[in-house]
Structure 1
């Protein structure tokens, strides 16, 4: 089965629409959404409704820290801009949409895959996987051979050999990699809604569980429209500029 994997959608309708259309063209048979459906962007209701529709069709969906903040409390570690958007987002979602976010699990296991927003080691701590130490800790926390996660907004791939040797890879552009069944893997597709690697094009990944091929993909979208909506909504201007710069 070919699974399209999206993370950190961040209420960006233009980017999410472009990624979903691209995945359909590539023949995706299933979808997985790795959290942070909301936050930063100006279309939280549309994104939540879209993911809800895919969930009804069998998509995997897990909770992200921005989703948790909207239904609970932002927490002391969330920056002021993100906090402001959390409050704004909460006022834009209806009871059904909020209930959907509240119902999301922190992790989902499917076959030899684990889906989580941040680290599998302690999912609710929202640890960023920025290097091999965090990647190994996450991989050791699950029996699954493949872990798919987000949270860091930059594409990355880590693998752990049978002897415990860890290595990492940063994909550039569209990259296809065969995932050896003799290794364990941690996959970060990058952010669909707010990339932060200097490239404003949206990110997602495709995984074929028959051939074990993983493909990182970049999808151009109407960044100006998404940034303009942020400004029109009265949200922090910096968030629109970040989209334009991919930072």
Structure 2
């Protein structure tokens, strides 16, 4: 199967549609959404509806911290502007959409693959994986050979050999990466809806479980339209500026 790996959609309809269209063109036949469907962006209802439709067809979907906040309220570490977006999102979505977010699991296991929004060591703590040491701790916490996660908003790839040696790889868009079976890998596709690495193009990746290869992609989309939607919704303007600047 060719898994399209999409994370941190953050209610950005234009970015999501562009990535899904590209994934279809690449022959993706399975989809995995690793959390944060909402928050920051101006189209939460439409984005949730798209993911719900994919879930009905067998897509993998796990819960992110923004998704959970819509159900139970923001956590203590969520900053004020994000809290404002959560309160606004609650008013924009219906009961079926909210129930969908509330019912999402924190993790999903498919064979040797683990799908989770944040760190695998304790998914409910929403820990970030920013360094090799972080990646090592989370890989040691699971027997899964492949861990797919989001939360970081920047594409990254870490590996752990059977002897415990760690390494990292800076992925380049469109370049095929072979994932060796003797290694554990932690794969962060980057954010569909709000990239923060200085490149405003949407990020996602495709994993082929037959050839054991991974390709990261950067997808241009109408970020201006997405930013205008944020502003028109009355959300903090910083969320629109992030879409324009990729920061």
TM-score interval, normalised by the smaller of the two chains: over 0.9
> 166-175 or 45-54: which moved more?
166-175
Q: How does 1:137-176 map to 2 (within 5 A)?
A: 137-176=137-176
1:176 CA displacement: 1.5
Give the whole-Å Cα distance in 2 for the aligned partners of 1:138 and 1:75.
22
Tell me the residue number matched to 1:180: 180
Matched residue of 1:199: which SS? Answer: coil
**CA deviation string 1:7-27 (max 9, x = no partner):** 000000000000000000000
Determine if the alignment matches structure 1 residue 124 to structure 2 residue 115.
Answer: no
Runs of 4+ in structure 1 over 6 Å off = none
Report the CA distance between 1:112 and its aligned residue: 1.0
Give the aligned length: 247
Q: How does 1:1-247 map to 2 (within 5 A)?
A: 1-247=1-247
Shift of residue 142, structure 1, vs aligned partner: 1.2
Give structure 1 stretches of 5+ with no counterpart: none
- Aligned equivalents of 1:52 and 1:221: distance in 2? 22
CA distance in 1, matches of 2:43, 2:197: 23
TM-score, normalized by length of structure 1? 0.99
What CA RMSD, in Å, does the superposition of the two structures yield over aligned residues? 0.6
SS in 2 for 1:205: strand
Deviations 1:195-237, CA, capped at 9 Å, x for gaps: 0000000000100000000000110000000000000011101
In the alignment, the residues of structure 2 paired with residue 204 and residue 3 of structure 1 have an alpha-carbon distance, to the nearest angstrom, of: 11
Q: Report the Cα distance in structure 2 between the residues aligned to 1:39 and 1:111, rounded to whole angstroms.
A: 31
Q: Which stretch of structure 1 is more off in the superposition, 114-123 or 139-148?
A: 139-148
Give 1:174 shift.
Answer: 2.5
User: In structure 1, the residue corresponding to 2:197 is in which secondary structure?
Assistant: coil
The 1-side partners of 2:89 and 2:111 are apart by 34
Shift of 1:138: 1.1
Q: TM-score, normalised by structure 2?
A: 0.99
